[in-house]
Structures are given as C-alpha cells and as structure tokens.
C-alpha cells in the first residue's frame, strides 16, 4: 500500500476535513486538547468540507479545516509546510476573524464563543523551547492566571517530534507520527490499529483516490517543491551576494592596510620616530584619506600638516 503525505495541504484537508471522516478529526482534537468524559466532542460540523472540484479553485493558504462542536466552540486546523512572512500575524488574524464572524451585529457579543486555532508546522516556529506541542493564551502578568481564554492557539512543530512509533503511547503522539511519516509507510502499523487511524489510512491510500484527486495532489506537491526551490535559490543568491561583498570588503581592507603601511614608512623617513597615535589613526583611516595624506608628505613641514592633527 502507498499513502499520500498528510503534510501537503490538499492531503491534510482530504484526510481531516472530509464530511465522511468526522471520527478522524474528533479523535485528533480530543487527543490534542485532552477532552474526556462530558467534555468529549459529541457532534462536529465541518465548515467548508473537502470537495476536490472546489479545492481546485482554492489557494493553499485557505486550505485549512474549520469546524464547530456541539457547544459552539470553533476550531481552525491548519497544516503549514513553509514559514512565510508575518506568519504569526496571519494566524492571529484568521482566529480573530472567525471569532468576530460568529455574530452579525455588535450587540450580539454575549453570544461569542471560544475559538481554538491549531497550527501544524513542518518547520521550527519557536526556537526558545524544545517541546513540539505548545499552547498560547492570554495570562495576567502578576498572578499568571488565564482570564481571557476566548481565543487560544496551539502549535505543533513537526521537526521537534523525535519519537519512534514504539515510544508513541499517547493517542496524539500517534497522530503526529501519522502526519509526519504516513507517506513512508506501506501498511497500517499494529500500534495504530484503532478505528480512527484505520479510517485515516484508508483516506490516505493512493489507490482510493480519484484521477482528479491525484492530479490535484501532485500539483499541490509540485507547488510546495517549487516554493522550497525558490526559497533555497533566494538563500543561495543571498549567500553568494554576501560572499562577494565580503570579498570586496576584504580587497578594500587589504588595499587600505597596504596604503597605511606604506604611508607609515614614509612618515618615519620624513619625521623620524612617530607617536603612537599616528599608527592608530592610519589603521582606522579610509583609503581615500590615506591617499590624500600621501600627497601632502613632500611639502608638509610637520605631522599635523600631513594628518590634520592628533585625533
């Protein structure tokens, strides 16, 4: 068996955002948010469910999964392969937009309900800590208590996930493993032989995809590869430009040192032993200044006339 890569936005929405796959999304959300007992999701409404023909017209930046549970809590689940400029601002904008979009009139604000934004990144987002799952919410700075919890952000940074499958005890660890490694598996692992995972692998099977879905999946993969290629080309061009600038500066610095040494020897011949400040001033001088001072040596009667005085 061969499986599609859940990290590709098209595949992620097909697996987690299909109307017939609510059990997959519910298991994912409950395991991440640790919902148990009466807090479990009893019903889920997927907003803008996966439809291959419509997906053809969508941009990758809006290929996320949006849903609402029986309590009215809204969820945004997004898979992001590459870090883009102002990415954190975009995430906050989207969650705020969903939050205020719950009502049509300002006076209805008491009806506003919680929004939970979940972003899965195939890159390191936060370099200050090593855990791969982080929760971000507003807290009062003195007590550390959380009073404003209507918008909460979760981040899952895939590169920080280092567990092998045998170490994945928690359900959510297995979901991270599925997202990160499913396309490299040839069968459903015994450790993931649970209904929601079997369904996820079924949705991810290449053999179960229509020709249109395969075409869209291939195009999405090519678009990601092209974007990464452009970024790598930009990095390479920046590196080459930096090397060229460094070489130019190195050449200029070498020329400056040569001119300074030559001028120092000429000043010693003309004026004898020199004070320390002369060497220091020559070492810091621009090449144009050194050349101008060199032209004054023959006619100047003192060091001050050549160099313009002690700095």
Q: What residues does 118 pair with on adjacent strands? A: 77, 154
pLDDT score recorded for residue 59: 46
The DSSP output letter for 79 is E
How many Å apart are CA 37 and CA 65, to the nearest integer? 25
| Overall average pLDDT of the 174-187 stretch | 94
Q: Is the pLDDT confidence value at 100 over 50?
A: yes
Report residue 62's pLDDT band, with 50, 70 and 90 as the boundaries.
Answer: very low
Q: What residues does 69 pair with on adjacent strands? A: 44
Among the ranges given (100-104, 137-141, 166-170, 209-213), the one the predictor scored with the smallest mean pLDDT: 209-213
Q: Is the pLDDT confidence value at 234 over 80?
A: no
CB 15 within 8 A of CB 187: no
Question: Which of 256 and 132 is assigned the larger pLDDT?
Answer: 132
Report residue 282's pLDDT band, with 50, 70 and 90 as the boundaries.
Answer: confident
Closest CA to 298 of 278, 273, 269: 269
Q: Is the pLDDT confidence value at 136 over 90?
A: yes
* Main-chain phi, psi angles of 133, to 5 degrees: -115, 125
| Overall average pLDDT of the 274-280 stretch | 85
Angle at the Cα of 165 from the Cα atoms of 164 and 171, rounded to 5 degrees:
120
Question: Which of 126 and 265 is assigned the larger pLDDT?
Answer: 126
Which conformational region is residue 72 in: left (phi greater than 0), alpha (psi within -120 to 50 degrees), or beta? left
* Main-chain phi, psi angles of 285, to 5 degrees: -75, 150
Report residue 60's pLDDT band, with 50, 70 and 90 as the boundaries.
Answer: very low
Write out pLDDT tens, residues 10-31: 889 999 999 998 999 999 999 9
How many Å apart are CA 57 and CA 75, to the nearest integer? 23
pLDDT score recorded for residue 187: 92
Q: Is the pLDDT confidence value at 124 over 80?
A: yes
| Overall average pLDDT of the 297-309 stretch | 77
pLDDT score recorded for residue 137: 93
% residues pLDDT > 70 (the chain): 86
CA atoms 22, 49, 76, 217: torsion sign: positive
User: What's the N-to-C CA distance of the chain in angstroms?
Assistant: 78
Chain mean pLDDT for the chain = 85
Question: Which of 251 and 215 is assigned the larger pLDDT?
Answer: 215
- CA 170 to centroid of chain Cα atoms: 26
Q: Encode burial over 141-179: b for 16+ CB neighbours within 10 A, e otherwise.
A: eeeeeeeeeebbbbbbbbebbeeeeeebeebbbbbbbbb
Angle at the Cα of 201 from the Cα atoms of 175 and 179, rounded to 5 degrees:
35
Among the residues of the chain, which ranges form H helices? 9-16, 22-33, 52-55, 87-100, 171-181, 195-204, 211-271, 276-284, 287-296, 303-307
Residue 128 neighbours by CB under 8 Å, 6+ apart: none
User: How many beta carbons lie within 10 A of that of residue 297, not counting itself?
Assistant: 15
């Amino acid at each position: 068996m061969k499986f599609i890569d859940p990290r590709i936005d098209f595949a992620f929405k097909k697996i987690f955002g299909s109307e017939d796959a609510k059990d997959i999304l519910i298991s994912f959300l409950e395991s991440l948010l640790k919902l148990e007992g009466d807090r479990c999701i009893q019903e889920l409404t997927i907003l803008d469910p996966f439809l291959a023909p419509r997906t053809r017209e969508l941009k990758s930046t809006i290929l996320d999964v949006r849903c609402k549970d029986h309590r009215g809590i809204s969820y945004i689940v997004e898979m992001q392969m590459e870090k883009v400029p102002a990415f954190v601002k975009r995430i906050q904008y989207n969650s705020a937009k969903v939050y205020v979009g719950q009502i049509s009139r300002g006076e209805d604000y008491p009806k506003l309900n919680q929004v939970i934004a979940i972003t899965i990144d195939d890159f390191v987002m936060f370099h200050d800590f090593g855990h791969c799952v982080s929760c971000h919410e507003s807290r009062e700075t003195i007590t550390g208590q959380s009073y404003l919890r209507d918008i909460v952000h979760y981040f899952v940074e895939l590169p920080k996930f280092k567990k092998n499958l045998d170490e994945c005890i928690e359900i959510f660890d297995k979901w991270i493993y599925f997202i990160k490694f499913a396309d490299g598996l040839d069968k459903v692992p015994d450790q993931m032989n649970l209904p929601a995972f079997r369904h996820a692998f079924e949705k991810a099977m290449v053999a179960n995809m229509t020709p249109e879905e395969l075409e869209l999946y291939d195009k999405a993969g090519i678009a990601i590869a092209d974007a990464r290629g452009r970024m790598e080309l930009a990095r390479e061009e920046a590196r080459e430009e930096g090397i060229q600038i460094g070489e130019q500066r190195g050449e200029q610095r070498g020329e400056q040192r040569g001119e300074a040494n030559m001028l120092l020897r000429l000043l010693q011949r003309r004026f004898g032993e020199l004070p320390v400040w002369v060497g220091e001033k020559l070492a810091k001088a621009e090449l144009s200044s050194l050349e101008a001072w060199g032209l004054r040596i023959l006619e100047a009667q003192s060091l001050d006339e050549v160099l313009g005085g002690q700095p």
